[in-house]
Amino acid sequence: MTELTDLTAVQLVDAYRKGEFSPVDATRAALRRAEEVQPAVNAFVRIDAEEALAQAESSAERWRSGEPRGLLEGVPVSVKDILLQRGGPTLRGSRTVRTEGSWEEDAPSVARLREHGAVFIGKTTTPEFGWKGVTDSPQSGITRNPYDPSRTAGGSSGGSAAAVALGAAPVSLGTDGGGSVRIPGSFCGIFALKPTYGRVPIYPASAFGTLAHVGPMTRDAADAALLMDVISGPDWRDWSQLGPVAGSFRAGIEGGVRGLRIAYSPSLGGQVAVRPAVAAAVRQAVESLAAQGAYVEETDPDFTDPVEAFHTLWFSGAARVIEHLPPDRRELLDPGLREICAQGARSSALDYLAAVDVRMELGRRMGRFHQTYDLLVTPTLPITAFEAGAEVPKGSGHRRWTGWTPFTYPFNMTQQPAATVPCGVDREGLPIGVQIVAARHADALVLRAAHALYEAGGARIAPPATD
C-alpha cells in the first residue's frame, strides 16, 4: 500500500482535488517521517511542526471551500537554511550568525511557495555558507546519506536531498553555486535542477555572485516543472532576474526526445576518471534516450578544466562572506572555510577579472557547442557517495571538493540549466546520477528530456529504507 510520504507533489494536489485525503493528513505524515529519520541522517536544522500543522489546517479549509490558493496548495515543502524564511533565523550552517531580530522576510522563491499555498515543515542543513560539496558544519553537524548513513549526502544542499529521498516532504528548495543541488541529488537518488541563472530570483544577493542559483529538488522531473512554474515568478529585489517565462514549464514536459541532437560526453574528453559502475549506468540512460528517438553522438565539449578560475571566483566570494567578522568570531568557522577565505582574500582585482575572462570564453564555447547539439549528457559525478564527514574521498589525493565534481561547476560558470537524474545504483546500492545540460534559457528542454527518462522507467531507483 502506497504511503502518503511516497507521493509526489503532483499526486498530492490531484488527491486533494479529488477529496481522497487532506493537506493535514499529508503534513502529519511528512512531519512524522522527518522526526523518524532525523536521528539517522540529520537532514533538518529546524522542524516547525506546530506552524506546519496550522498552515495545513488553513489549506484544508481552502480545499473544502473550493478555493485553493495556488499550484502547491497544501503540499509539504522544506527549504535549505541558506534561504530566508520568515518566522525564524536563517543560520546558514554557521555559529557566527546572530539569531536576534524579527526574521520577517522571505527570499523570493520562498515567498512564491507561500503565495501558492505550500506548507513549510522545516529548514534543511547546509555546510557553512554553502561553501563545499558535502554537508557538515560547526552549527549543525554531519548530514548523512539516506541509502547508507556512513556515507555523505553530498552538498551543499545535502539536507534537502536527504529529506526528499526519505519522504520528509516531496519537494525542497536548494541552492547551487558549483553543483550544490546536483551533487546531493546524485548521491541521494533524487531529481535536482539548477535553472538558468536569473530564472529564479535571488535575494539577498549571494556573495558568490552569478555563480549561485536557486533550484528545485524533487522526486521527479514533473514535480520540478511544477515547482519551476511557482518559483520563476518575478521579484523586484533581484536586479539580475530574467524576464517573465513564456508559458508553463509543465506544458511541454511530455514532448519526449525524438529528433533531439544529444552529445554524450562520458569523461569530458578523457579529463575525468569515472568509476565503471557510474559509466555503465550513465551509458544505459543515454541508450534509453537514443531508443526514444534522440540522435546521440559520443563527443565532448571543447574546454579544459576551468577549476583554477572557478577557485578564484569561489574563494573570493567566500572571503567576502566573512569579511565583516572580527577575528574572534572567525575562530568559530569551519577550518576548511577559513582556509579558502584566506586564499580568496589574497586574490587581486586583476586575478578576479582574469577568472571572469575564462568564464566568458567557456560560455562562448558552450554557446557554439549548442548550435550543433540541443543537449549535453554527462555523469553528474564520477563517483558515488563516500564517507560522511570528509570533504574529499579518503585516498583520492584531492585537496578540495572541486577535485571530485568536475562535471558540475563548469556549468555554474556558464549559467546554463543542468539537472541530475537518478539512473542506477552501484554494487553497494548507492545512487548514480546522469547530468543533462542545455543552452542558457532552455530549462524546459532539460525538464522534457529528464521526464522522458522517468517515463521510460530508466530514472526510477528503489527508495532508501526507512525502518
Number of residues written out for the chain: 467
Active site residues: 80, 156, 180
CA angle 424, 189, 413 (to 5 degrees): 105
| Annotated domain spans of the chain | 4-455
pTM of the model: 0.98
Mean pLDDT of the 66-76 span: 97
Contact status, residue 218 vs residue 9, Cβ threshold 8 Å: yes
Q: For 355-405, how does the pLDDT look when each residue is reduced to its tens digit (9 = 90+)?
A: 999 999 999 999 999 999 999 999 999 999 999 999 999 999 999 999 999
- Nearest partner of 32 among 49, 16, 17, judged by Cα: 49
> Has residue 101 got a pLDDT over 90?
no
Separation CA 278–CA 61 (nearest Å): 47
pLDDT tens per residue, range 25-43: 999 999 999 999 999 999 9
Specify the pLDDT at position 466: 85
Task: Write out the CATH class of domain 4-455.
Answer: alpha beta
C-alpha cell at 458: 530508466
Three-point CA angle 457, 461, 464, nearest 5°: 155
Listed residue (124, 148, 121, 120) closest to 135, CA to CA: 124
Using pLDDT thresholds of 50, 70 and 90, give the confidence band for residue 141: very high
pLDDT digits (tens, 9 = 90+) for 286-305: 999 999 999 999 999 999 99
Q: Which amino acid type is present at position 120?
A: F
Nearest CA among 170, 407, 403 for reference residue 267? 407
Retrieve residue 384's grid coordinates. 558515488
